[in-house]
Amino acid sequence: MTVMIQVTDLNKRFTLHNQGGVSYPVLTKVSFNVNAGECVVLDGRSGSGKSTLLRSLYANYKPQSGQLHVRHQGELTDLVTATPRQILTIRRQTLGYVSQFLRVIPRVSTLEVVMEPLRALGVDRETCREKASGLLRQLNIPKTLWHLAPSTFSGGEQQRVNIARGFVVDYPILLLDEPTASLDADNCAVVVSLIQQARERGAAIVGIFHDAGLRDQLADRRIPLTSPAKEDAA
Amino acid sequence: MTNAAMAMTQEALAEPLLKVKNLRKLYAPGKGVDGVDFELWPGEVLGIVGESGSGKTTLLQCLSGMLTPDSGQIEYTGKQGDKLDIYKITESQRRLLLRTDWGIVHQHPRDGLRMGVSAGANIGERLMAIGERHYGNLRSTGEAWLREMEIDTARIDDLPRTFSGGMQQRLQIARNLVTQPRLVFMDEPTGGLDVSVQARLLDMLRNLVVDLGLSVVLVTHDLAVARLLSHRLMVMRGGKVVEQGLTDQILDDPQHPYSQLLVSSVLTP
């Protein structure tokens, strides 16, 4: 078994300097591993730090201490101490992150939005287009929309475009933050099969799923999270 | 895709394009640039954000050879891998660098364009400065760049003052990129433009940066522009860098009180 993610004693606290310097811990001494071909689900109430942990795994949030190793090009690299340049390379080649929100860029077509991560790896346009089209078709985005910028799409359509973008590269590690939230049953099933295919090809997956049925269906293992601050308050 | 592949090889080069050490240019205490260090790598876009008077523009002027700093060092790695200390090389060497390897995009197009000569002549000027004399070549290059910038080629003989603000800005960019610079300095390139015009320009800049593998130092007070274009951010206040790092990390999880204030002050439409 290959360890793909190794989290050791991770601490993350938020300090709001402009709101009276309020400071509260969200993650305290979190440790776990995720292996290749494994889907791990983060469990916990709203506010327990699931998204914070996932964002930290993408180096979008900056933990105060601890280590956060991901296997990149065969080597375990600590994201807490990596340089921005290293992180960008790791994201491009190793880390996929899918949330339910698409960041729309004016004037960029849906097809281009989906192709972009693959293009950034130097893959030729034709191959990128084929793979992107396949995903858009699977996710039931009508072909008439492919050449439009997704800014005017419905929430569900934007979400599916974002999922296509997240799955266009076969990332060794996938981080999923409620990718199926507010999708209808058919589209939800498509996303589940994409996740299962990724697991079968050996991706290590960390996910947050609101739906209990989905959690049962996908989780090889669960990691319970309790935010110390919220516990104290309760 | 050769371009992206090229950009990636460039990226693999283990050497920064620009090394800035302890740069200082102070007009008064806390006014100007007060000890700034950073490195810029090939293909990297570095955004500099901060309030008016934080020293962003002074820093850009020092970096681009327009304003001699009080102290500090700026080392640029030339095309042949040669190390050039920007304020130790001769004036003529620096001018050559500014005309070929570097580009400067000013906030106001009239600061970067020659308003009294045609659009074509504006684009051709840098080429002529490095020895291109063939009229046909100059003209066809001019037309190619107008097309690239989505300006009607029929306007090639018109004066820039007859262009709209957005067109002038695109013309200024074409004028800079014609010599295939490796490093471009941009000072609020989208400031003062309508949002629709801004979107078009941003989309264009975004593609150019990727396709040409450009390194860019981008000064902006618009955090959305910074997020869209830059890989890395430096947050400045009172002439000092208070925080720097990955763009999305600084915007989504700012650590310094001033960065937090800056991010939380933005209205989202």
ipTM above 0.95, yes or no: no
Nearest CA-CA distance, residue B245 and chain A, Å: 6
> What are the tens digits of pLDDT across the range A37-73?
999 999 998 889 999 999 999 999 999 999 999 999 9
Q: Which of A87, A88, A122 sits opposite B4 (nearest CB)?
A: A122
Contact A183, A158 (CB under 8 A): no
pLDDT tens figures, B138-158: 999 999 999 988 899 999 999
User: Quick one: tokens of A126?
Assistant: 């034709």
Quickly tell me which residue has 């204030």 as its tokens: B261
What pLDDT, in 10s, does the model give residues B71-105? 999 999 998 889 999 999 999 999 889 989 999 99
Chain-centre distance for alpha carbon B211: 16
Please list every residue in chain A whose beta carbon sits closer than 8 Å to the beta carbon of residue B4: 119-120, 122
- In the numeric block, which tokens belong to residue A125? 């346009």
Which chain A residues touch B if contact means CB-CB below 8 Å?
Answer: 15-18, 55, 59-62, 84-85, 87-89, 105-108, 119-120, 122-125
Interface touch B1/A122, C-beta < 8 Å: yes
Contact at CB, B249 and A62, closer than 8 angstroms: yes
| Range B179-216 burial, b when 16+ CB lie within 10 A, else e | bebbbbbbbbbbeebeeebbbbbbbbbbebbbebbbbb
CA dist A102 and A162 (Å) reads 5
Band the pLDDT of B4: cuts 50, 70, 90: very low
Number of A:B CB contacts under 8 A?
59
Query: Structure pTM?
Result: 0.91
Region A183-212: what's the mean pLDDT?
95
Structure tokens at A160: 């599916």
Strands A204-208 and A173-177: parallel
Asked if B54 contacts B238 with a C-beta cutoff of 8 angstroms, the reply is: yes
